[in-house]
Amino acid sequence: MRRPRIAVLGAALIALLLLFSACGSGEDDGDNGDAGGEPRGSITVGSDAFPEAQILGEMYALLLEDAGYTVERQLNLDSREVRLDAMESGDVDVAPEYLASLLSVLDPEADLSGDAAAVAGLLEPLLAEQNLQLLDFSDAIDTNAFVVSQEVADEYGLVTMSDLGEVASELVLGAPAECPERPFCLPGLDETYGAVFADFKPLEYGAATAQALSAGAIDVALLFSTDPLIEANDFVLLEDDKGLQSADNITPLAVADVADDVSDILNPLSGTITTDEMTALNASVAIDAEDPADVAREYLEEKGLL
């Protein structure tokens, strides 16, 4: 029995489409892999448990997925120390980091500065011992920021951190629980500014700290310089006039075994993102309550990275 003509034409069209598809995929197999067409294996992205790190972690994860990786996310790790242990053991492959803060943990006696390239150079041999490697650092910087309410600033005449050092004995500092061990926190405040506080209250970073400062439960708060809560609450950011804080440029950190494979995927983001953009992205999560994954995707698409 002869098939209807329409069926014959349909079969011919399907054959042509398959032929064109096969011809079109020959030379571009590698490019299709970079766009997610060819599986590259599994990789784990980690981050510390605060909005900025989670946004960056989502960006890394989305870029790696787009390049063909199957990505496991661990974006709620308790601290840098926990994450570094996980990276050294191979449980986490890639994570966002901050140059100077990382160096202060790996070598508390290191000569820190505002020169990002110099800090990265000091980090390289230390990280190599742990089978870790820095990718390109960005121009975006997020460092410790000590803030007070306008009322406290007016009462004590606070403009700079040196001003704070003179009256710290009358004030209460609120900061994350690891502050007493961090060189850029209590030890550095004492050494650089002579700031010894009347009391220290360990607080969860971010909204809880800002709320405690607004309520007067603490007098001085540690936030990050890209935290939108500073402007939203009209907090006074004290000038780090003696340069305690150093080059905390945002930088992807990778296990050495995967660093070369992921550098071309993640480095374009480092070459794009700015401090102001990071602050705006943080506001979307910390103030507007948007999901970090949605914020990350929107930014990458807007910049043509995804």
CB burial readout 140-149, b (16+ within 10 A) else e: bbbbbbbbbb
pLDDT at residue 111, as a whole number:
83
pLDDT at residue 300, as a whole number:
98
Q: What is the pTM of this model?
A: 0.76
Asked whether the beta carbons of 50 and 77 are under 8 A apart, the reply is no
pLDDT at residue 94, as a whole number:
98
DSSP letter at 275? Answer: H
The pLDDT tens digits along the chain (306 residues) read 323 333 333 444 334 333 334 443 333 333 333 445 578 899 999 999 989 999 999 999 999 999 999 999 999 998 898 999 999 999 999 999 999 999 989 998 888 888 999 999 999 999 999 999 999 999 999 999 999 999 999 999 999 999 999 999 999 999 999 899 888 899 999 999 999 999 999 998 888 999 999 999 999 999 999 999 999 999 999 999 998 988 999 999 999 999 999 999 999 999 999 999 999 999 999 899 999 999 999 999 999 999
Q: Do domains 37-141+247-302 and 144-237 have the same CATH topology?
A: yes
Residues 6 or more apart whose Cβ sits within 8 Å of residue 287: 228, 229, 232
Residue type, 180: P
pLDDT at residue 36, as a whole number:
52
DSSP letter at 136? Answer: P
Residues 6 or more apart whose Cβ sits within 8 Å of residue 110: 103, 104, 122
> How much helix, strand and coil, in percent to the nearest 5, is found in the chain?
50, 20, 35
Provide CATH code, domain 144-237.
3.40.190.120
Question: What crossing angle do the helices spanning 80-88 and 99-106 adopt, rounded to 10°?
Answer: 80
Q: Does domain 37-141+247-302 have CATH number 3.40.190.10?
A: yes
DSSP letter string over 43-81? Answer: EEEEEESSHHHHHHHHHHHHHHHHTTEEEEEEEEES-HH
Among 219, 227, 230, smallest CA distance to 164 is for 219
Q: What are the residue boundaries of the structural domains of the chain, listed by start?
A: 37-141+247-302, 144-237
pLDDT at residue 183, as a whole number:
84
